[in-house]
Amino acid sequence: MKLTFLGTGAGIPSKERNVSAIVLNTANANNELWLFDCGEATQHQILHTSLKPRKINKIFITHLHGDHIFGLPGLISSRSFLGGDDTLTIYGPLGIKQFVETSLQVTDTHLAYPIEFVEITEATSIFEDDQFVVDVELLDHGVFSLAYRVTEKDKLGELHVQKLKDLGIKPGPIYREIKDNEQTTLEDGTILYRKDFLGADKKGKKLAIFGDTKYVPQQASFIQDVDVVVHEATFSADKEDLAYKYNHSTTKQAALLAKDANVGALILTHISSRYQKGDEAVLLEEAQTIFPNTFIAHDFYEYNIK
């Protein structure tokens, strides 16, 4: 799985950072793309990448502030023109359905595909299929704001090919049948049990993406042991009072949360425009002093989840 950051700034776009948008390539059979937030000009940012809007089939909105949703109407409309015809599901706080439908109605926009809305009002599990589970947690931002945790289910281990060959079973479709079924009956009546021919399960990956929030130490339980957490760091470590006043977090606070949760890696985003490119090293050092495996995202930054 891979994260691509299309926008990493807070509040308003700047020359160096667009507003919030992150794409997750799920690395499933269809390489589906999941979009987390959709700030203004997200579709413009996509033009500078190899990402295909028609591949986006899920959009997760953390909260309804404009710097996280103003790009939705344009992207949704363009997706229709660019060959997207399968259902798009949009998850987000109560009100996201009204925002999207009103935008499309007022502009007389007609789509070539249906939209399904899942409006969230509490901390709960919002999605599950044979590969992923998505859960949400409520944050503290003055408005209803969410963190999303994506859990990839464990995968079956590798097939012990040599063990099958030693039994005289030659490579072919039978190998797939053995791996796909708990037991397989051969032509001679022999019953093979899958568990006897598989290695240990491959552990699924876990990641969490936070919307805007104050520092709340108790949130560590939601992200315990995830492989990577993406967290806002609107302010530098010396601006805790300002962060609290405006319902945001500092670099230091994000690092403390990551440390307490024993996560694999921390990626800082949602950086205030008061900080220029030359300030990034200082912001990063503030977090790395507490949690060494910290990175700071910039627009078009990519992170492979290992």
When pLDDT is averaged across residues 161-177 and rounded to a whole number, the result is 89
Q: Read off the pLDDT of residues 123-144 as tens digits, 9 standing for 90 and up.
A: 999 999 999 999 999 999 999 9
HSE-up of residue 113 (Cα within 13 Å, Cβ side): 22
The pLDDT confidence band at residue 187, using thresholds 50, 70 and 90, is confident
pLDDT at position 28 is: 73
- Please report, for residues 171, 172, 183, 292, the alpha-carbon distance to residue 190 in angstroms, rounded to integers and kept in the order given: 17, 17, 10, 54
Per the residue annotation, which of 37, 67, 212, 299 is the catalytic one? 67
Q: Which residue has the higher pLDDT, 306 or 274?
A: 274
Q: How confident is the model at residue 259 (pLDDT cuts 50, 70, 90)?
A: very high
pLDDT band at residue 167 using 50, 70 and 90 as cut-offs: confident
**Averaged confidence pLDDT in the chain:** 95
Residue 180 is predicted with a pLDDT of: 87
Burial class (CB in 10 A: 0-12, 13-18, 19+), 247: middle
Active site residue 85: no
- Nearest residue to 20 (alpha-carbon basis) of 40, 2, 1: 40
Residue 29 has a pLDDT of 63
* Angle, in degrees to the nearest 10, between helices 72-81 and 96-106: 60
Residue whose pair of structure tokens reads 């700034």 in the numeric block: 9
pTM strictly above 0.95: no
Provide the CATH topology of domain 2-155+202-304.
Metallo-beta-lactamase; Chain A (3.60.15)
Domain ranges of the chain: 2-155+202-304, 161-194
Q: Please list, in sequence order, all residues whose beta carbon lies within 8 angstroms of the beta carbon of residue 29, skipping any fewer than 6 positions away.
A: none
